Structure formats: structure tokens, C-alpha cells
Structure 1
Amino acid sequence: MGFFAFLILGLIAGAIAKLILPGKQRGGWFVTLLLGVVGAMLGGWLGGLLFNASLDSFFALSTWVLAVGGSLIVLLIYGLIAGRRTKA
């Protein structure tokens, strides 16, 4: 999969993960893109490690499930870290 396809996958996976998670998350589209790409990478790594799956094909269902799952994990971690910050 190419670089721009991976960015598009990350943006869409991050947006889907934000829709799945309840509550209001911080961050705009750029943070969604970054967290989605990191989540897609995490999902691909975990999928390859645990299930011998990969993110080779953009239109494969396993690619999307791994990318959204990884994005959910990253958004949960980001929410825990960003939620601890308090405004002074």
C-alpha cells in the first residue's frame, strides 16, 4: 500500500474510531489523522504479530478492522493522557 493510501486509511480509521468511542474527544482533523495513522500502524503490527495478517491491500476487510482497532486503542490511550491534563 502506498504512502497516501496509508494516510487516507489512517484518517478514515481515526474518524471511525472517534465515532465508535462514546463521549467527546479532543483534537481536530489533524490529530485524528495522526492518531489514525499511528493506530493503523499499531493495528497492522499487532495483526501481523498475533494473526499473521497485514495491511497490504487497501480494500481488504482485515486491513480496515486492524486499522480501526488500532485507532481505537490509540484513541483510548490518548484520551487517558489528555484527560489527565488540567487547565491552570
Structure 2
Amino acid sequence: MLTNSFFALSLLPYLGFLFFLTRNPRTPRLALIGFYSTLVFVAVTIPAGLYAQHAYGTSLANVDTLHGGAEAFLTVANILVALGFRRAVKEASK
């Protein structure tokens, strides 16, 4: 129960981070999309966790197919962030 409260509270600073990052015109667009995609990961993980608890009686981490699918969203988000900053560094070095 306490973990859920910390999880919910952790969204507030992340939303603040996104707010300021979005306002900065130097933020690479692809990286920004990646950071926003992390919210998709959260949006997918919550219902997947609830389903795992209801259907299998265990946490999401113990249901490989659901956990792998949810983590795929995080992987894609991380790749977008990395590619966005990679592109920005390449453009800045020209």
C-alpha cells in the first residue's frame, strides 16, 4: 500500500520535469517523445498489474507475458530518448 502512494507521488516531479523540458526549445524532439512515452509505460503497467493480480493472483513481475509486454513500452521509450540525444549531439558537432 505504501509503495502505491510513493508511485503516485513520483508522477508529480516527473510531470514537472516534462513541463520544463517541453518549454525548453533546445530539447530534442525525439528525446521529448521518448520521455512522454514513459508515461505510456506507466499507463500500460498499471492496468497490466491489476489484471495480473486479478487473473493470476500475483504481481505483474511474476507474469512473464504481461511483464514483458509492459517493459517493451519502457524499452521503446528509452530508445527514443537515446536516439533523440544522439541526433542532437551529432547536429551540434557539425
Pairwise same-fold verdict (TM > 0.5) = no
Q: State the structure with more CA Rg.
A: 2
State the TM-score, normalizing by the size of structure 1.
Answer: 0.37
State the TM-score, normalizing by the size of structure 2.
Answer: 0.36
